[in-house]
Amino acid sequence: MYVEQGFKGLHEWWRYIVGLVIVVIGVIIGQMPFGLAVIIKMKMMGDTPQQLDQTQMLAILDSNLGLFLMLLTFAAGLGALFLVVKFLHHLSLKQLTTSRPKIDWKRVFFIFLLWGIISSGFILIEYWMAPEDYVLNFKPLQFAVLCLIAIIMIPLQTAFEEYLFRGYLMQGIGVIFKNKWLPLLITSVTFGLLHIANPEVDKLGYTILVYYIGTGFFLGIMTLMDEGLELSLGFHAANNLFTALLVTADWTAFQTYSVLKDVSEPGKTGLFEIFIPVFVVFPILLFILSKRYKWTNWKDKLFGQVIEPQQTGSIDELGQST
């Protein structure tokens, strides 16, 4: 059982508080090159450094450089999280990832390709329905650099979010409170609310949080039903990667040299972009995945108790007595 994997390491409640503090410190350290680059660029332009939001900071730098430095923040957070799991909790990366004997990369690549095709299809449909809302933004050299940055860095960004919310916090809250519904609820809502600082919220309003929180629940349900992070890792990576490569806008979190640029009035297609994925597409995907991977016992996996296994004195993967 995936959540019960947390019992295989040191799982006192205070360790998770300390772990989160260390991860936050790692993220702050990872933000420093981004902030330093903005300060240097502003001084080169003769401007006085001042407090700026993320969108303003990205506007100062070249899109590719800004994207790389922004994603570096998440890479630093991921590194800090892995150190916390290994040295503070004495858990292995495999135990944080899956309850299977080894990480199932076929699951990662299956959902990556499936959602990549579907999400790209949605973008093409929107372009076909309203071509006047888009302009061609393709610049071969800059796009090639974008591909290199995106393929390397975006999976690190999405992995950080998945390992933190659907991994570390899902297991931590589960082993502390001994149930599955509370970690699903807390991680999904927190995941959504942390996106409140995204520039999309300013343009589309707080209704967009329905999409972010709904996506959190979708990823959490996949993790609990499939007893591992593989599907959520693949889905999240595909969602951010294909979007970054195909379409951008002046008001989105990712400012990129993508193929297309959305120049429409923000909120024009809000109903389709927010509610259809959460209440139509995601349930259909869960149904398809449940058939492919033969998910059963939904009630227990989503709302059941988390039971600590009996101590056996065996040696776990890291050589620690359990």
Cβ of 128: how many Cβ atoms within 10 Å? 8
pLDDT-above-70 percentage for the chain? 92
Does some domain include residue 314? no
13 against 60, higher pLDDT: 13
How much is the pLDDT for 57?
73
Does some domain include residue 120? yes
Helices (H), 45-169: 54-60, 63-83, 93-97, 105-129, 140-161
Does some domain include residue 167? yes
Does some domain include residue 319? no
Q: Summarize the confidence of residues 274-292 as an average pLDDT.
A: 95
Instruction: Please tell me the pTM assigned to this model.
Output: 0.92
Interhelix angle 140-161/63-83, rounded to 10 degrees, is: 20
- pLDDT exceeds 50 at position 315: no
- Could you report the per-residue pLDDT of 220-255, keeping only the tens digit for each? 999 999 999 999 999 999 999 999 999 998 778 788
CB 261 within 8 A of CB 245: no
Tell me the one-letter amino acid at 278: V
How much is the pLDDT for 44?
84
Rounded distance, CA 94 to CA 158, Å? Answer: 17
Q: Summarize the confidence of residues 30-50 as an average pLDDT.
A: 84
Residue 161: give the domain boundaries. 3-303
Q: What is the mean pLDDT of the chain?
A: 91
CB 223 within 8 A of CB 166: yes
| CB hemisphere CA count around 306 (13 angstroms) | 25
DSSP summary character for residue 261: E
Does some domain include residue 103? yes
> How many domains does the chain fold into?
1
